[in-house]
Amino acid sequence: MIENHTTVRVRYADTDQMGLVYHARYLEWFEIGRTELLRELGLPYATLEEKGWLLPVIEVRSRYKTPARYDQIVSIISQIRELPRARIHIDYILKGEDGTLLAEGFTEHIFINKDGRPLRPPQEFISLLRENL
């Protein structure tokens, strides 16, 4: 399993009128986790795009467990558990400072070229994952 840990601090702008983090922010935190996971692997998004590989989200799921609140530190754990076939699946676990589970979910992505045509996961990408799994 490939895993990355990163953190964010909940900003006032992240909260709704009830003082809780707005539900769509969790998906932004998934993106932060995914970006840092790929960067740590040596393939930041900028490099992927330079190589002509794009990774659009084709499915997302989030389960909310405990609401996050203003000024809280949120830990984002992002995981790739298996080599991609046609899709790449990334899991996310979001925890509060005290370890409380805030949310969990996943995103699935496909590889496409700049013209929007589907690609098989590039061998360079697969090799890098294989080295780290």
Please list the active-site residues. Answer: 16
CA–CA dist 45, 62 (Å, integer): 23
CA–CA dist 91, 104 (Å, integer): 8
Q: Hey, CA dihedral for 71, 61, 78, 127, is it positive or negative?
A: negative
Across the chain, which distance is largest between two alpha carbons, in Å?
A: 47
Q: Are the C-beta atoms of residues 122 and 48 closer than 8 Å to each other?
A: no
CA–CA dist 55, 44 (Å, integer): 12
Beta-bridge partners for 108: 59, 89
